[in-house]
A and B are shown apart, each in its own frame.
Chain A
Amino acid sequence: MTSEEAHKLLHAYVDGELDAAKTLELEAHLAGNPAARAACERLREMSAAIRDRADYHAAPPALAARLRASVPAEPERAARFPWGQWLKPAAAFAAVALLTWVVAVQTMRPGEDEGIAREVLASHVRATLANRLFDVASSDQHAVKPWLSARLPFSPPVADLSSHGFELRGGRLDYVGGRAVAALVYQRRQHLIDVFVWPVEEQKAGQTLTRDGFNIEHFAKNGMRFWLVSDLNRNELSDLARLVAAAP
């Protein structure tokens, strides 16, 4: 590979968009080429600077409230008569649009039929939509763990990861794969992450999926199965998966 070819591929490499064959080729080139390595490092720093320091403009609560408030008590009727003169047209539009939006997200079919991925994703979306995030709201692992243990036939590991930028917000009980499971809720910036936990026999290597714009990570370790679901980006979700796996 020439330096020119390598330079062209660097952005795709840093963005994780290069196929396996080209990645190997480029990494071989980087190994023997300090200047290209430095260029690669510069790109990573640029990317990290934007991710860390650019403002993420979350929707103002007033906007969300305005959209939510326009959902009528009987959505079917609003959908059937969106043009009714007795309804303010703007409110009707917003209501139907909102309804469609929600339905679109909930009924989208994932690429493959993977029962658990669909169940944990559905649970995550349902919890955030209905704003029923936790049954026990606490940032204290010593409050969340006993609460869950008292209600489940097992004791889920609950780690304090605030020093790594993942705040524990609480926990809830959920039902996945035909069994009661623990769901731990962490927060990073404005992103909520559900960590579903239940006991299993076997170990399992990690895997990452993307469904409907949400990222999902799952693995099994120390007799526990873990499924992580969030709209957080893949890299940071993987960081959390590693931290959860490494926690005692």
Chain B
Amino acid sequence: MLPHLDAAYNLARWLTRNDHDAEDVVQEAALRAYRFFDGLRGEARPWLLAIVRNSCLSWLQVNRPAELAGFDDRVPEPVDETSPETLAVRQCDRRMLNEALAALSAQFREALILRELEDLSYKDIARITDVPIGTVMSRLARGRRLLAESLQAISNAAAPQVHR
């Protein structure tokens, strides 16, 4: 088992949303890791994940340029005071949650994946995604809220319709 290979693949898989593309990206990232080895400062995992993310962006630029827009929005969005009900979050199954997460705009998806699945600090996420810590905070807040709303919508659509 290579160190951090799973973390590298998990991020690439969530950003490309495709197994085959994720493998290509991780191989490309290994190549870049070699080229940028002199730039290694601090911990290895965030360093490597930053390279994997850059490889994903380059790959998307060539193969699916339309998806780059999802990463680009640097304007922090306002967070609404009201929150959706918890029931949909509590009751959603794996499939619903994965679909909702995959459908999120890339900037929110990557922040949530790095935070919840890789358990990285705000500082590391800021470094990997190349934005200030304040932006990481607002993306996590906005991303969680959008995800809850989307789960709510899925659960409403899945619920049996009652006709009077």
A→B interface (CB under 8 Å)? 7-8, 11-12, 15, 17, 39, 41-43, 45-47, 49-51, 53-60, 62-64, 66-68, 93-94, 96-98, 100-102, 104-105, 108, 125, 128-129, 131, 190, 212-213, 231, 233-235
Contact = CB atoms under 8 A, between A and B. Distances in A.
B90 A129 contact: no
Contacts of A15: 115, 122, 140
B153 interface: no
Contacts, number: 152
A49 B30 CA distance: 32
Given A49-B90, A97-B33, A213-B46, 14 more contacts: A11-B137, A50-B101, A53-B94, A55-B94, A56-B10, A57-B6, A58-B10, A59-B8, A62-B23, A97-B30, A100-B37, A101-B33, A101-B34, A102-B2
Contacts of A128: 1, 3
Interface residues of B, number: 56
Interface stretch (B66-74, B81-89, B154-162): B81-89
Nearest to A12: B137
Given A53-B92, A63-B23, A212 B1 contact: no
B44 interface: yes
Given A45-B86, A105-B3, A128-B1, A50 B33 contact: no
27 contacts: A7-B81, A11-B140, A39-B83, A42-B83, A46-B147, A50-B112, A50-B116, A50-B117, A54-B101, A54-B113, A54-B116, A56-B117, A57-B19, A58-B9, A59-B9, A60-B19, A66-B27, A67-B2, A67-B30, A93-B31, A97-B33, A101-B30, A108-B44, A125-B3, A129-B3, A231-B4, A231-B7
Smallest CB-CB A-B distances: 8 pairs = A213-B45, A233-B119, A59-B9, A57-B13, A97-B34, A97-B30, A50-B116, A105-B3
B98 A55 contact: yes
Given A105-B3, A234-B119, A46 B141 contact: no
Contacts of A100: 33-34, 37
